[in-house]
Structure 1
Amino acid sequence: MGGVSIWHWIVVGVIVMLLFGRGKVSELMGDVAKGIKSFKKGMAEDEEPVTPPPSAAPADPRIIDQQPTTPAQAKAEHKA
């Protein structure tokens, strides 16, 4: 009791067919299939590696001298 049997699903299917008609249900299923195909195509496009444009040259790295941040570090640097 309380479970959904195959007969419940058959009754629901018949009611849906009566309400929407056979053409409307097949059209809806076609739209669902198109949506799934579009989703898969979009996921496949996202998997392609992103390459930077050829005109973008990498910037030259800059060397930054580390400066002591506290007076104690400054004294230790000065003594060494």
Structure 2
Amino acid sequence: MGLSIWHILLFAVIVILLFGTSKLKNLGKDLGGAIKDFKDSVNSDDQKLLQNQQYKDIIPVESHNEKQNKI
């Protein structure tokens, strides 16, 4: 038979009556904050990885004066 829209609406009404709108609002804020923090940490790790890779790709070059000093 499955879940119809009426089953979902009835479930939502029961949850709202049990927990109240303020608790659900706080739960939504907490969940949203946790997801935002997770995304920020993942993006931060990706940026650090890219920066490290860029520094590895840089090849030091000797200047003309350094070459003459070696001779």
* TMscore range, shorter length: 0.5 to 0.7
Q: How far 1:3 moved relative to its partner?
A: 1.1
State the partner residue of 2:15: 16
| Identity level (%) | 40
Q: How far 1:38 moved relative to its partner?
A: 0.3
Alpha-carbon distance in structure 2 between the residues aligned to 1:7 and 1:30: 27
- How high is the TM-score relative to the length of structure 2? 0.66
Q: CA offsets per residue over residues 3-30 of structure 1, 9 Å max, x none?
A: 1000000000000000000100011001
Q: CA offsets per residue over residues 29-76 of structure 1, 9 Å max, x none?
A: 01010011001001001102264xxxxxxxxxxxxxxxxxxxxxxxxx
Which of 1 and 2 has higher RCO (CA within 8 Å, sep 6+)?
2
* Structure 2 unaligned residues grouped into runs of 5+: 53-71
Alpha-carbon distance in structure 2 between the residues aligned to 1:14 and 1:25: 12
State the partner residue of 1:68: none
Alpha-carbon distance in structure 2 between the residues aligned to 1:22 and 1:47: 37
- How high is the TM-score relative to the length of structure 1? 0.59
Larger Rg: 1
* Counterpart code for 1:21: G
Say what the alpha-carbon RMSD is for the aligned residues. Answer: 1.1
* Structure 1 unaligned residues grouped into runs of 5+: 52-80
* Counterpart code for 1:38: D
State the partner residue of 2:25: 26
